[in-house]
């Protein structure tokens, strides 16, 4: 219909009579259209658009039409078509982030493990297949490197490590976190590329001691580790490439917050039907899930408080002992050590509190 165009031109200051004459429509028809009440469809679209704006904002302006549609359908129980969502998002000027940055790396060493995955990134249950890789991103101070381990079944980042170096310790630390978090059974496959960090002796030794099976794709084939490439692409477009970073600490904190406060607990994933992280049904343990969740939510504040109390009490005890031994000399460095401990504990307490609050705000668990 051409009347909305007449209305827009009139809002810009053009006379209605001139606009109608140029466009070949009658003024009476325009004024009749202007006074006509909005249709039920228009009102429904306006209400749905407002909800879409809220969902898009809660996704940190990263969701496109498919994930917004999934959030409306699965998270809010609103039945609507994906094409309608795309139309309303286009009208509202809302878009998801979709830029993918090309990455390059050094030529990897020969693989000590054969390819056990062969591009089949599926698993029947959690902790049967993990994939891992490293990414880097520049800051004003220099590059920041991040290694991650992703569980193929749930799409959860089960282990990660952030540092200012790209030595083998980076990937070993990420694997250590994954093993500590998930306690995998012997035989779990850890798939990676042929980077020197993953072909190193220390990484292979850690795999063997944990009873894990190494797996590596072909040389210079990103498709052989496609799931991790997809994860890094998501991080690049939803976090890293959206702004410039001044310091390594700033970028490292942002990576930590994005993984633990958004990607792991909240983000919807197309690979598992736009659900959030899915750990799979364990029917014989289902009756324990509710009390475990309730206990974990209530215990977290007490564990944080107990940790702070223990550190404070330990600091005072050490200070009292050294003061009794040498009242004027020894306590001086102990005072500075206690001050450092206070700062570190305050930082850890604030970071953990941020993560817990962010996870508690997300009431829709899958």
d(CA 200, CA 192): 12
Domain assignment present for 339:
yes
Give the pLDDT score at 280: 45
Give the pLDDT score at 287: 59
Q: Say whether both 228 and 149 belong to one domain.
A: yes
For 319, the 3-state DSSP assignment is helix
Tell whether the torsion through CA atoms of 215, 218, 221 and 224 is positive or negative: negative
Q: Say whether both 156 and 250 belong to one domain.
A: yes
Residues 6 and 25: beta-carbon distance below 8 Å: yes
**CB count, 10 Å around CB of 185?**
11
**CB count, 10 Å around CB of 256?**
16
Q: Say whether both 61 and 158 belong to one domain.
A: no
Give the pLDDT score at 24: 82
Q: How many domains does the chain have?
A: 3
> For residue 226, what are the domain limits?
129-272
Domain assignment present for 111:
no
Give the pLDDT score at 103: 56
**178-183 long-range contacts, Cβ below 8 Å, gap at least 24?**
178/130, 178/149, 179/210, 179/212, 182/126, 182/127, 182/151, 182/158, 183/127
d(CA 113, CA 101): 29
Q: Say whether both 316 and 261 belong to one domain.
A: no
For 84, the 3-state DSSP assignment is helix
Q: Say whether both 141 and 254 belong to one domain.
A: yes
Structure tokens at 45: 């679209």
Q: Say whether both 138 and 192 belong to one domain.
A: yes
Q: Say whether both 38 and 84 belong to one domain.
A: yes
Residue found by looking up tokens 């998002």 in the block: 89
**88-93 long-range contacts, Cβ below 8 Å, gap at least 24?**
88/45, 88/48, 88/49, 88/52, 89/52, 89/56, 89/64, 89/65, 91/49, 92/49, 92/52, 92/53
Domain assignment present for 110:
no
CATH number of domain containing 149: 3.30.420.10
Q: Say whether both 261 and 287 belong to one domain.
A: no
Domain assignment present for 124:
no
Q: Say whether both 203 and 315 belong to one domain.
A: no
Give the pLDDT score at 100: 55
Give the pLDDT score at 356: 66
Domain assignment present for 317:
yes
Residues 166 and 186: beta-carbon distance below 8 Å: no
Domain assignment present for 101:
no
**CB count, 10 Å around CB of 275?**
18
Give the pLDDT score at 360: 59
d(CA 285, CA 38): 53
Give the pLDDT score at 269: 65
Q: Say whether both 306 and 239 belong to one domain.
A: no
| pTM more than 0.85 | no
d(CA 189, CA 194): 15
Q: Say whether both 46 and 173 belong to one domain.
A: no
pLDDT averages per 10-residue partition of the chain, 366 residues? 73 81 81 76 87 90 89 87 90 79 54 82 89 93 94 90 92 92 90 88 90 84 83 90 91 91 78 55 53 71 74 71 66 71 76 69 46
**18-31 burial by CB neighbour count: b if 16+ within 10 A, else e?**
ebbeeeebeeeebe
Q: Tell me which of 238, 272, 306 is where a domain ends.
A: 272
Domain assignment present for 123:
no
Per cent of the chain over pLDDT 70 is 80
Give the pLDDT score at 170: 93
Q: Tell me which of 239, 272, 305 is where a domain ends.
A: 272
Domain assignment present for 100:
no
- Residue 305's Cβ-count burial label (10 Å; 0-12, 13-18, 19+) is exposed
Q: Say whether both 133 and 267 belong to one domain.
A: yes
């Amino acid at each position: 219909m051409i009347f909305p165009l007449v209305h827009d031109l009139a809002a810009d200051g053009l006379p209605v009579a001139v606009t109608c004459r140029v466009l070949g429509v009658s003024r009476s028809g325009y004024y009749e259209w202007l006074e006509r009440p909005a249709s039920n469809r228009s009102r429904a679209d306006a209400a749905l658009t407002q909800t879409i704006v809220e969902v898009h904002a809660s996704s940190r302006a990263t969701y496109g039409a498919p994930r917004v549609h999934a959030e409306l359908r699965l998270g809010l129980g609103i039945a609507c078509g994906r094409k309608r969502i795309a139309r309303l998002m286009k009208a509202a000027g809302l878009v998801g982030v979709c830029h993918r940055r090309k990455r390059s790396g050094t030529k990897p060493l020969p693989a000590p493990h054969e390819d056990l995955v062969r591009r089949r990134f599926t698993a029947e249950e959690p902790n049967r297949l993990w994939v891992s890789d490293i990414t880097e991103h520049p800051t004003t101070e220099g590059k920041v490197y991040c290694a991650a381990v992703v569980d193929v079944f749930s799409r959860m980042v089960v282990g990660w490590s952030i540092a200012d170096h790209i030595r083998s310790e980076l990937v070993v630390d990420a694997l250590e976190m994954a093993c500590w978090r998930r306690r995998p059974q012997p035989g779990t496959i850890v798939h990676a590329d042929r980077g020197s960090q993953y072909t190193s002796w220390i990484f292979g030794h850690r795999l063997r001691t944990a009873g894990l099976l190494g797996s590596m794709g072909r040389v210079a084939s990103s498709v052989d580790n496609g799931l991790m490439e997809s994860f890094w692409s998501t991080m690049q477009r939803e976090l890293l490439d959206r702004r410039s970073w001044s310091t390594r600490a700033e970028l490292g904190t942002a990576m930590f917050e994005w993984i633990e406060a958004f990607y792991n607990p909240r983000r919807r994933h197309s690979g598992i039907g736009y659900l959030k992280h899915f750990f799979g049904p364990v029917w014989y343990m289902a009756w324990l899930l509710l009390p475990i969740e309730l206990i974990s939510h209530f215990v977290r504040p007490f564990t944080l408080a107990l940790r702070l109390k223990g550190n404070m009490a330990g600091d005072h005890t050490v200070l009292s002992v050294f003061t009794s031994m040498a009242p004027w000399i020894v306590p001086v460095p102990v005072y500075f050590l206690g001050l450092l401990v206070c700062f570190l504990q305050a930082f850890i307490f604030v970071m953990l509190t941020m993560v817990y609050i962010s996870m508690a705000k997300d009431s829709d668990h899958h």
